[in-house]
């Protein structure tokens, strides 16, 4: 069984790397040439991407419910076909209408084919034992930008942005679809939520199932976290340039975020795996405000030294929170109805992602590096919510895994 679990993790992790590299990390490199070729502004290209994120928020709960009922082996292969179709449509775009139509199709694929549905597929197969498997998927897919950006850049030199989109579409057909189609069938026995600790292990004493207030709190935390991570993913090089770094230095700092995410997930997998997910999430939520404070205080001459520190701390926090969005709802609510519940909890986060590029872009234009104060304040709000949630669940939230 353990060998089967880790084979599933490798397959899903590889498919997720492909999914994120070809969608979430695509506009950063193809946005500018796409805008020039189509005769539109880059902000319009980002708006089309934001529409895709909004569409994915609407699809997420439905996709999670489908996996709860039928399993990942029924849903995820179909998403590979959707990704391929959306990327072919994007390569064929000739103006704003076809651009938005293509990103809408990709939004359907993202809503049914990114982390949340992969986590739901794991939980349906392996139940409460899924925490480390969730971590394993995020460890592999944490290299999506590290792999995706160089591949996209290479294809841009070989062909153009249309050729890059077609290359990603082909990979979904020849790699993503077979990996998703080979997922195991079956379902783990589901224990009642009252019999689970928030650590994901069997409880000695029954506890009440977490209520709607807990779900709302988690939705707020993840909406804030994903607003911050998307704002940084979209604007980090531009923000550092506005603060005074050169283009090459800003891009070099930006490349540290991906490895830092993986390092954070490795820490969660090894050093922190005995902590309950609520504690890991609290630590992760504190890292972006700390990183922002270091960068804001450095200023001028200290910017070159503080910028890598910012990227490493921010990236580690994002990495751990990516695991927490899968493990914390499982710990607090149990595996029953996990896919649909996670889809609902993460829907506000997808809308926040959609708003992040334009809103943080406006803040960056007005305040420069000072715009980082906005994300730092939001990060502190998320930390306060998690601390309150930890106090409310103190009686059953401190048992190690």
CATH (domain of 125): 1.20.1250.20
Query: 364, 375 in Cβ contact below 8 A?
Result: no
Query: 89, 169 in Cβ contact below 8 A?
Result: no
Which residues, listed in sequence order, are joined to residue 196 by a DSSP beta bridge? 202
Task: Note the pLDDT of residue 2.
Answer: 60
Handedness of CA 284, 285, 286, 289 (dihedral sign): positive
3-state secondary structure the chain: CHHHHHHHHHHHHHHHHHHHHCCCCCHHHHHHHHHHHHCCCHHHHHHHHHHHHHHHHHHHHHHHHHHHHHCHHHHHHHHHHHHHHHHHHHHCCCCHHHHHHHHHHHHHHHHHHCHHHHHHHHHHHHHHHHHHHHHHHHHHHCCHHHHHHHHHHHHHHHCCHHHHHHHHHHHHHHHHHHHHHCCCCCCCCCCCHHHECCCCCECCCCCCCCCHHHHHHHHHHHHHHHHHHHHHHHHHHHHHHHHCCCHHHHHHHHCCHHHHHHHHHHHHHCCCCCCCHHHHHHHHHHHHHHHHHHHHHHHHHHHHHHHHHHHHHHHHHHHHHHHHHHHHHHHHHCCCCHHHHHHHHHHHHHHHHHHHHHHHHHHHHHHHHHHHHHHHHHHHHHHHHHHHHHHHCCCCCCCCC
Task: Note the pLDDT of residue 334.
Answer: 79
Tens digit of pLDDT for each residue in 72-115? 778 899 999 999 999 999 999 999 999 999 999 999 999 888 88
Among 11-15, 229-233, 255-259, 313-317, name the one with the lowest average pLDDT: 255-259
pTM above 0.75, yes or no: yes
Task: Note the pLDDT of residue 81.
Answer: 95
- Which residue would you say has higher pLDDT here, 212 or 202? 212
Task: Note the pLDDT of residue 199.
Answer: 43
Residues 154 and 200 occupy one common structural domain: no
Query: Taking 70 as the threshold, does the pLDDT of residue 145 lie above it?
Result: yes
Task: Note the pLDDT of residue 328.
Answer: 85
Within 10 Å of residue 94's Cβ, how many Cβ atoms? 10
Query: Taking 50 as the threshold, does the pLDDT of residue 206 lie above it?
Result: no
Q: Say if 103 falls within a structural domain.
A: yes
d(CA 135, CA 132): 5
Say what percent of the chain tops pLDDT 70.
Answer: 89
Mean pLDDT (the chain) is 83
d(CA 118, CA 241): 36
Residue range 131-135: average pLDDT? Answer: 77
Among 17-26, 357-366, 388-397, name the one with the lowest average pLDDT: 388-397
Q: Say if 332 falls within a structural domain.
A: yes
Q: Say if 282 falls within a structural domain.
A: yes
Within 10 Å of residue 248's Cβ, how many Cβ atoms? 9
Residue where a domain stops, chosen among 153, 181, 209 = 181
Residues 166 and 211 occupy one common structural domain: no
Residues 153 and 224 occupy one common structural domain: no
The rounded Cα 326 to chain-centroid distance in angstroms is 10
Tens digit of pLDDT for each residue in 333-363? 878 888 888 888 888 988 898 888 888 888 8
Query: Taking 80 as the threshold, does the pLDDT of residue 190 lie above it?
Result: no
Residues 70 and 113 occupy one common structural domain: yes
Residues 309 and 349 occupy one common structural domain: yes
What confidence category does residue 197 fall into, taking pLDDT thresholds of 50, 70 and 90?
very low
Task: Note the pLDDT of residue 96.
Answer: 94
Residue where a domain stops, chosen among 155, 181, 207 = 181
Largest CA distance in the chain: 64
What confidence category does residue 186 fall into, taking pLDDT thresholds of 50, 70 and 90?
low
- In which domain, by residue range, is 219 found? 194-392
Residues 162 and 224 occupy one common structural domain: no
Residues 168 and 212 occupy one common structural domain: no
Residue where a domain stops, chosen among 123, 158, 181 = 181
Residue range 134-162: average pLDDT? Answer: 85
Task: Note the pLDDT of residue 299.
Answer: 67
Residues 93 and 142 occupy one common structural domain: yes
Task: Note the pLDDT of residue 312.
Answer: 92
Among 44-48, 205-209, 250-254, name the one with the lowest average pLDDT: 205-209
Task: Note the pLDDT of residue 149.
Answer: 80
Query: Taking 60 as the threshold, does the pLDDT of residue 147 lie above it?
Result: yes
- Which residue would you say has higher pLDDT here, 362 or 211? 362
Q: Say if 41 falls within a structural domain.
A: yes
Task: Note the pLDDT of residue 341.
Answer: 84
- Which residue would you say has higher pLDDT here, 103 or 25? 103
Residue range 191-210: average pLDDT? Answer: 43
Residues 176 and 234 occupy one common structural domain: no
Among 116-120, 174-178, 243-247, name the one with the lowest average pLDDT: 243-247
Task: Note the pLDDT of residue 338.
Answer: 81
Residues 310 and 343 occupy one common structural domain: yes
d(CA 327, CA 15): 20
Query: Taking 70 as the threshold, does the pLDDT of residue 174 lie above it?
Result: yes
Task: Note the pLDDT of residue 397.
Answer: 44
Residues 35 and 71 occupy one common structural domain: yes
d(CA 301, CA 316): 25
Within 10 Å of residue 34's Cβ, how many Cβ atoms? 24
Query: Taking 50 as the threshold, does the pLDDT of residue 322 lie above it?
Result: yes
Residues 30 and 84 occupy one common structural domain: yes
Exposed e or buried b for every residue in 266-296, given b needs 16+ CB within 10 A? bbbbeebbebbbbbbbbbbbbbbbbbbbbbb
- Which residue would you say has higher pLDDT here, 213 or 55? 55
Q: How many domains does the chain have?
A: 2
Q: Say if 101 falls within a structural domain.
A: yes
Q: Say if 23 falls within a structural domain.
A: yes
Q: Say if 397 falls within a structural domain.
A: no
Query: Taking 80 as the threshold, does the pLDDT of residue 15 lie above it?
Result: yes
Q: Say if 186 falls within a structural domain.
A: no
């Amino acid at each position: 069984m353990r060998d089967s679990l880790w084979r599933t993790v490798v397959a899903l992790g590889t498919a997720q790397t492909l999914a994120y590299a070809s969608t979430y990390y695509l506009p950063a490199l193809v946005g500018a040439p796409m805008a020039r070729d189509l005769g539109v502004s880059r902000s319009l290209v980002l708006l089309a991407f934001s529409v895709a994120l909004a569409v994915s928020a609407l699809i997420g709960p439905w996709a999670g419910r489908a996996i709860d009922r039928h399993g990942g082996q029924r849903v995820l292969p179909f998403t590979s076909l959707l990704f391929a179709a959306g990327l072919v449509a994007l390569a064929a775009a000739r103006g704003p209408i076809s651009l938005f139509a293509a990103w809408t199709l990709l939004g359907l694929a993202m809503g049914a084919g990114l982390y949340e549905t992969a986590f739901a597929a794991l939980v349906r197969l392996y139940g409460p034992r899924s925490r480390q498997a969730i971590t394993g998927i995020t460890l592999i897919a944490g290299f999506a930008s590290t792999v995706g950006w160089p591949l996209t850049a290479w294809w841009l030199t070989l062909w153009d942005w249309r050729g890059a989109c077609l290359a990603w579409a082909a990979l979904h057909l020849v790699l993503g679809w077979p990996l998703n189609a080979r997922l195991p069938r079956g379902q783990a026995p589901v224990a009642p939520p009252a019999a689970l600790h928030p650590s994901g292990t069997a409880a000695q004493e029954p506890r009440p199932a977490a209520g709607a207030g807990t779900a709302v709190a988690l939705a707020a935390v993840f909406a804030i976290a994903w607003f911050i991570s998307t704002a940084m993913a979209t604007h980090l090089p531009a923000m550092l340039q506005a603060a005074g770094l050169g283009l090459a230095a800003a891009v070099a700092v930006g490349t540290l975020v991906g490895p830092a995410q993986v390092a954070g997930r490795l820490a969660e997998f090894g050093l922190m795996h005995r902590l309950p997910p609520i504690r890991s999430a609290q630590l992760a939520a504190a890292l972006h405000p700390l990183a922002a404070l270091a960068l804001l205080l450095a200023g001028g001459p200290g910017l070159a030294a503080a910028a890598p520190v910012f990227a490493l701390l921010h990236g580690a926090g994002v990495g751990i929170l990516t695991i927490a969005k899968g493990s914390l709802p499982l710990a607090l609510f149990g595996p029953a109805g996990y896919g649909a519940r996670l889809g609902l909890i993460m829907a506000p986060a997808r809308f926040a992602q959609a708003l992040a590029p334009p809103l943080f872009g406006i803040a960056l234009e007005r305040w420069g590096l000072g715009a980082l104060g906005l994300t730092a304040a939001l990060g502190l709000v998320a930390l306060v919510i998690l601390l309150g949630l930890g106090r409310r669940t103190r009686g059953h939230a401190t048992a190690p895994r």
